Chain A
Amino acid sequence: MTLVIGAFTIGLILSLLSMGVWISFRILRYCDITVDGSITLGASVTAILLVKGWSPWTATLAATLAGAAAGCVTGILHTRFKIQELLAGILVMTALYSVNLRVMGRSNVPLLDVETLASPMARLITRYASNPDALNVCGWLVPIQDMAMLVTVLLVTVMAALLIRWFLLTHVGTALRATGDNPQMVRAQGVNNNTMVVFGLASANGLVGMAGALLAQYQGFADVQMGIGMMVWGLASIIIGEALAGRTTPGLALCGAIMGTVLFRLLVAIALRWGLNPNDLKLVTALFVFAALVLPDSVKSTIHQFLKRQRHA
């Protein structure tokens, strides 16, 4: 049960990351690797502020803004200075590694006994629970801390998803969606597509920074290495999500991103339980994304050829 709760919590936290990657990868059609750096940036900013005694809400907000600033830089490198999109992201990601070390002052900041976003919820549950340590969920004893974190994260993620969906249906949001689809058309309708790219990358990385903030508070530390491979994680989750919910409207796609991330996290938890070496996890994820990107087409063409041969026979 702890395993499932843990998988759900991390899944919901990383849903914020997936929604960010979805904005850059699917809406802007921009392959933004900044994510690997900005999630760590979010985590380190939060960790250091929490250690200094800031309130968890302010710390999380600061992490979100820091992520957004990183996205802004990538966007400006690409639009203003005409650097290729992938390279712009790599430059910012590399720079962020040093920035993160500077922010934390060392490579790892533990968060022991600090107030987190989940603390108010934990107090609330404790007040109504009979047992002060653990909660009885369908016959399983779950530590209140874990339960509080899960509920908090669920609330934050759902709120974020609703907010993004609403935004994408506004006038500005519509223009943002069209920017990835057809920049020429967007310019002809009087919208500066470069501003839209910068703005979109800023909001995407803001979400990623927020995911980093929550992740640090959940796992109880921030580490300079924690962002490696995060963008591919997000991609894998989005691909699963699209298989589950489709991508016809922003609402469905966002639902899919959340469901995909949680499901992917559960699958990983199960695989680890069955004895998958954690060191192989990133290789397996990369292979999965490769397969998901390539297989649909090759399967289609195989079927097509098969049908053709049938017809000729």
Chain B
Amino acid sequence: MTGRVRPGWGVLALATLAVLFFVAPLLGLLARAPWSELGQALASPEVRTALRLSAVCSGAATLLSVVLGLPLAWVLARHPFPGRSAVRALATLPMILPPVVGGAALLLAFGRRGLIGQGLYAAFGIRLPFTIWGAILAETFVAMPFLVITAEAAFRAVDQRYEEAARSLGAGPWTAFRRVTLPLAAPALGAGTVLCWARALGEFGATITFAGNFPGRTQTVPLQIYLLIESGGFDQAIALSLVLVGVSLAVLVLLRDRWTSAL
């Protein structure tokens, strides 16, 4: 890498500013952190409830995303059909859609008087909004596109000729998928799953709109952080924020170079 031209001073200054802009909030968080009372802040019952709820909801949302998203990614990657790009655009829309709008849309679809929710309630007595299922659904809605996008790329990257080789050796389509395609795509699929989970864990807008803010039921960590800041519980809010920062950093380390290549 010798002989590279050094960027101009102006560019360098702006780039440094950008880095500072990213780092400053983190530094602010660390500087104000109540390090000595961190354990105590995290031990309070309501904080622990929120942490547990977040773990359950994000886990369930990730599971749901894998169950629904992997087949979708597979179809998008391997089975051309008319309107495929439209379907792909729809599947990735929640990545760009403001989460609050997503939550409102979920409410209109799955609410008690919603398009589908009405029928669900009438037929099975199932009510989704303002329940833990609502929180899981909201997180899935926002997080699944991350899995679909990365998994489609992962499936695409597997040379189809390996599947043909497997077929010619007596493996049916499912065995070929399970023993050849899946293992070859596994690292990228893992990265996509982690990315999806991280997004579900941090979900706020869609959840609060669709599922509300009920402690123990729909009040996940991000919602509680918001509530704590509103009500002056800064120490606890910072403690919880640090937990999420820690998770994010762990994800970043875990994915390292996959972060960009998988997307």
A and B interact physically: no
Q: Give the interface of B toward A (CB within 8 A).
A: none
